Structure 1
């Protein structure tokens, strides 16, 4: 016999879908994926177990849905912060002091990680269940995060304010110097707002030291 065709997952009502994701996220973090039953998720989401299966098919796909939902939320936040700190609407004075703009962007990005239960839960779940989720390797959502920042870095390179040959690599370096450093901290340190701000500020300054255009390259 050929390989079984996965049962299509129902679109359903968004409020039910959201309730299932929140319930699953909280229980997965509290009890672990293996020890969390679909019955418990359904009870917390105030839906039937059949509804959970109809929407997500199985627990593994539900786990992937939780992480992808967090990724979509984080991407929305990233775009909002880019629009606030690194947009085309910057004044000439703000553009000239690009390091200040990049630092402000980094600090607010760090704050968004502190207050986002979605983000913290997703990081924990990925770390604990990476082998269950091969889809996360080269996931298009991760590429979108990188490209979104890379487009802004390329814009400032075009203005002669950054020396960037590969915008996507530069975006990955920014992430490594800021958000990844925060994620590598112990949990109690990640909950310290001042500590996170220092990491994000130091990372932004290091990024600018590496990528700021030298005087003779500025247009």
Structure 2
């Protein structure tokens, strides 16, 4: 069944949805999407197979649900950390305060997301099943993630502590220097908290040096 012909699904109860997604995520990672049956998901979730179909339509819808749930959780985490660390940095008095704010943000982001088994499972499922997930191309969640960080970067740039022409591009550069670097590490290295912290904080500081105001510039 193709994504365009999937049957409508119902909203259902939140606790059942959570149980189904958790069961599907674990089984998809352990045995692969193709080898995971809807019966197995239903059994692991403690619901009927009919309930799984009612909530997610088919296996494709279930896989997409697993990935989107992880993305929504990551977005909530990103918003919280950006508010707590970079919100205060908007009015930072100097570059040292900005450095502390970005380093703290990056370190906590690394711990919250990149050491999260749920988040890493979703990343793995996307990599292994990309052809099955055309909906992820230009997904609204990607734009939402970028906008959260871009908004904070733009606010800091208005203080003169950063020189930024394109906040969305700057947000992409921050991600490339931090989270994407960690995700490209071998799994064993990604599991080492101090290693992840080092990559994240180093990347944040490289980002700040790249976007520091230039002499004679706008800053």
TM alignment of 1:36-185, pairs within 5 A = 36-88=36-88, 92-93=92-93, 97-185=97-185
> What is the aligned partner in structure 2 of residue 29 from structure 1?
29
1:42, CA displacement in angstroms?
0.1
Q: Is the 8 A contact 2:94 2:161 kept in 1?
A: no
Please tell me whether the aligned partners of residues 114 and 193 of structure 1 are also in contact (alpha carbons under 8 angstroms): no
Q: Is the 8 A contact 2:20 2:45 kept in 1?
A: yes
User: Deviations for 1:22-57, whole angstroms, at most 9, x for unmatched residues?
Assistant: 000000001100010000000000000000000000
Deviation at 1:97, TM superposition (A): 2.1
TM-score, length basis structure 2: 0.93
RMSD: 1.7
Structure 2: how far apart are the matches of 1:91 and 1:157?
10
Q: Could you tell me whether the CA contact under 8 Å between 1:28 and 1:125 is conserved in 2?
A: yes
- Further displaced range: 127-136 or 105-114: 105-114
- Shift in CA distance, 171/202, structure 1 to aligned 2, threshold 3 Å: same
Matches of 2:214 and 2:189 in 1, distance apart?
A: 35
Asked whether 1:20 is paired with 2:23, we answer no
1:21 to 1:108, Cα distance in 2 relative to 1, 3 A: same
Deviations 1:184-218 (CA, angstroms, capped at 9, x unpaired): 00000000111111111110111011012235447
Deviations 1:97-119 (A, max 9, x none): 21221111011111112442221
Moved over 4 A (4+): 88-96, 215-219
SS of the aligned residue for 1:126 comes to helix
Residue in structure 1 matched with residue 187 of structure 2 by the alignment:
187
- Give 5+ residue unaligned stretches, structure 2: none
Q: Which moved more, 1:5-14 or 1:145-154?
A: 5-14
